[in-house]
């Protein structure tokens, strides 16, 4: 799971993106305002802040650096660009693979013991 968090004036916004099941969710002040499945290298989420101001998240992989980039727009103006390196993505994927492997071995052991 990759997460981008940002304080935008009076609002706390967060984008959560799962790199194994494609689920992306956007939260404003803890309330989910957007959700979608995405398996491509980029996506967009349009949502409104509590005061009605329109915002947009762009999530993409920069081809030159292989960094995951989250751009935050408010009223179509770029506010910030947050980045996470490839290492964060790989660490998350390795953790998930480890859990799947452990679960598989545990299930196999239960079948063999029965």
Indicate the average pLDDT of the chain. Answer: 86
Q: How far is CA 76 from CA 17, 72, 73, 91, 110, in A?
A: 22, 9, 5, 33, 55
3-state secondary structure of 109: helix
Whole-number pLDDT of residue 4: 93
Whole-number pLDDT of residue 16: 92
Give the start-to-end residue ranges of the domains of the chain: 2-85
Percent of the chain with pLDDT over 70: 89
Tell whether pTM > 0.85: no
Structure confidence at residue 91 as a pLDDT band (50, 70, 90):
low
Q: Which two tokens stand for residue 13?
A: 């916004």
Whole-number pLDDT of residue 111: 87
CATH class of the domain whose range is 2-85 = mainly beta
């Amino acid at each position: 799971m990759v997460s981008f968090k940002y304080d935008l004036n009076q609002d706390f916004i967060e984008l959560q993106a799962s790199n194994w099941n494609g689920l992306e969710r956007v939260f404003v002040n803890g309330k989910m305002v957007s959700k979608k499945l995405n398996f491509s290298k980029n996506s967009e989420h349009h949502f409104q802040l509590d005061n009605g101001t329109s915002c947009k998240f762009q999530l993409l992989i920069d081809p030159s650096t292989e960094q995951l980039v989250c751009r935050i727009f408010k009223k179509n103006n770029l506010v910030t660009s947050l980045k996470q390196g490839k290492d964060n993505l790989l660490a998350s994927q390795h953790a998930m693979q480890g859990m799947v492997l452990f679960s598989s071995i545990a299930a196999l052991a239960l079948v063999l013991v029965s």
